[in-house]
Amino acid sequence: MSALPQQQASPGAYFSCRDLHAYYGESYIVQGVSFEVNEGEIVALLGRNGAGKTSTLRTIARLADPQLRQGEIWLAGKPLHTMSSWQAARHGVGLVPEDRRIIGGLTVEENLKLARIERPVGWPLERLYEHFPKLAERRMQDAVTLSGGEQQMLAVARALGREVKLLLLDEPYEGLAPVIVREIEKILHEVKAAGFTTIIVEQNAVAALALADRAIILDMGEVVFDGSAREVMDNAELRREYLAI
């Protein structure tokens, strides 16, 4: 990737991405995406399937794919666009991927402890178990034997066990039964109350909008709406055109 200009972050912007262009091979996926997130704000990143939501999230987390070829990403005054994924994670980017990445052969507690080995400055185990009582009950259980909803809880808890400045949630409700979705919603509301700056990608737009302060809608890799979550809920034409709801 060619060197990117070293500029100062936007005044007052806790997180910002500017003119992101990212590719899977030669497939142009993220096409000039720009937006900002205030500290403590929750933003829902929405759009139809294939709109570029997960690709944008992966670009922000500095994963190898998609490859960022142009643009800047700033978090708390630091240029994420110059960092690798592990450097971005060390700086406070906490990605909870759609596939959860639970480590088999380790217990629930070992998964949580492993996330804290290098920088044990996030929520301590006691606080994690207070907010995730089901994990406390299963702390000595092999983590891959948990239900889908419990694995999602573990993935979120593992992220919170590190020093998180920006929490990225990719499809946290995917494949979960409605009763489990309600449990995850409760946990995410607790995360919101704790003041975590969060970007949530979610196909269940109604659930995401109920949690979010603002919404950003993507279509074909471009931002087509940036405004309040309430505005999306109140605009039936916007929901039909870009969210199919």
Report pLDDT for 120. 60
pTM of the model: 0.90
**Span 111-120, pLDDT tens digits:** 999 877 666 6
Distance from C-alpha of 109 to C-alpha of 82, rounded to nearest angstrom: 33
Quick count: other Cβ atoms within 10 Å of Cβ 121?
12
Asked, for residue 2, whether it belongs to a domain, the answer is: no
Give the mean model confidence (pLDDT) for residues 166-171: 96
Beta strand pairing call for 214-219 and 198-201: unpaired
Greatest distance between any 2 Cα atoms in the chain: 50
Asked, for residue 4, whether it belongs to a domain, the answer is: no
Report pLDDT for 7. 40
Distance from C-alpha of 245 to C-alpha of 112, rounded to nearest angstrom: 37
Report pLDDT for 12. 57
Report pLDDT for 1. 35
pLDDT confidence of 2, banded at 50, 70, 90?
A: very low
pLDDT confidence of 163, banded at 50, 70, 90?
A: confident
Asked, for residue 5, whether it belongs to a domain, the answer is: no
Domain that holds residue 218: 15-242
Report pLDDT for 210. 92
How many structural domains does the chain have?
1
Average pLDDT, the chain: 91
Asked, for residue 173, whether it belongs to a domain, the answer is: yes
Asked, for residue 10, whether it belongs to a domain, the answer is: no
Asked, for residue 144, whether it belongs to a domain, the answer is: yes
**Span 74-126, pLDDT tens digits:** 999 999 999 999 999 999 999 999 988 999 999 999 999 987 766 667 899 99
Q: Looking at residue 119, which CATH number applies to its domain? A: 3.40.50.300
Q: DSSP letter at 166? A: E
